Amino acid sequence: MSELLRLTGVSRRFSGLQALRDVNLSVARGEVLGLIGPNGAGKTTLVNTICGVTPANTGSVVFDGKDITRIKTYQAARLGLSRTFQIVQPFAEFSALDNVAAAALFSQPGASLKSAREAAREHLAFVGLEAQAEQSAATLTLAMRKRLELAKALAMKPKLLFLDEVNAGLNSAEVERATKLIHQLAADGITIVMIEHLMKVVLNVCTRIVVLHNGHPIADGPPREVISNPAVVEAYLGQQYAQRTARHG
Ligand SMILES: Nc1ncnc2c1ncn2[C@@H]1O[C@H](COP(=O)(O)OP(=O)(O)OP(=O)(O)O)[C@@H](O)[C@H]1O
């Protein structure tokens, strides 16, 4: 698999807080990479740093052969870096359809509203929201707003899709539904980096896991191997989880 993203020596500070420290990371095309770690480990900051929200203080980010270390967020989006946000914030008064059409228009400047809405309908159908297309985003349930967020990200035609806790706050049936969608996207060849606290989901969909702790990767490798790594158990998963996994696989 060829390399799509490479971070070399990336660090990011907020005043006195070192949120990322000397991060080296490579993502290959077609991978589904799970980014895990304790609260405050720097996972969202890492995504923000790649996408230009909080650029690296030192180090470099190369995406699809281009140096994007100092890129602006809108340029990152147009290059094919697309993301969902942990806290979803759709245009509340817009319909679900027009929320997604707005994203489609952004990624294809000059496209007509008609064609953007056509594309939006396809993305809404993919996430199972076609029946809610004309409803205002404000009236959707949390699970629906999470799926709307995914449809918006897909309308940007991502080469690399970041999913930031898409399952947070969902019940088990909703998590199962979201997991199926992620499997489908991966099967379609979209490279995915997902921040996820639900280990069941991580183990189900990820081809590789990177664990961040205090802003630095402490493990990187195949899921089963990483979750039994003593440093990962110590920093994040805890003994209880390790014993449960050893018992039940
Ligand atoms: N814009 C910012 N300004 C100041 N501090 C920030 C900013 N963004 C993040 N931080 C701090 O950087 C650290 C890493 O935060 P981050 O949100 O990246 O962690 P996380 O691993 O995504 O955590 P969680 O799992 O709780 O979402 C935290 O201490 C956080 O308070």
The CA 217 to ligand 1 mean position distance, Å, reads 15
Q: Is the dihedral of CA 233, 236, 241, 247 positive or negative?
A: negative
What is the ipTM for the molecules in this complex?
A: 0.96
Name the pTM for this structure. Answer: 0.92
H helices present in the chain, as ranges: 43-50, 73-79, 96-107, 113-126, 142-155, 172-187, 199-205, 223-227, 230-232, 238-248
Query: What residue owns the CA closest to ligand 1's atom 12?
Result: 19
Residue ranges, the chain, pLDDT below 50: none
pLDDT number for residue 63: 98
The CA 6 to ligand 1 mean position distance, Å, reads 21
The domain spans of the chain are 3-80+158-248, 95-157
By C-alpha distance, which of 223, 190, 228 is closest to 209?
A: 223
pLDDT number for residue 181: 93
95 three-state secondary structure: strand
pLDDT number for residue 20: 98
CATH code: domain 3-80+158-248 is: 3.40.50.300
Q: Is 48 in the pocket of ligand 1 (CB under 6 A)?
A: no
pLDDT number for residue 235: 87
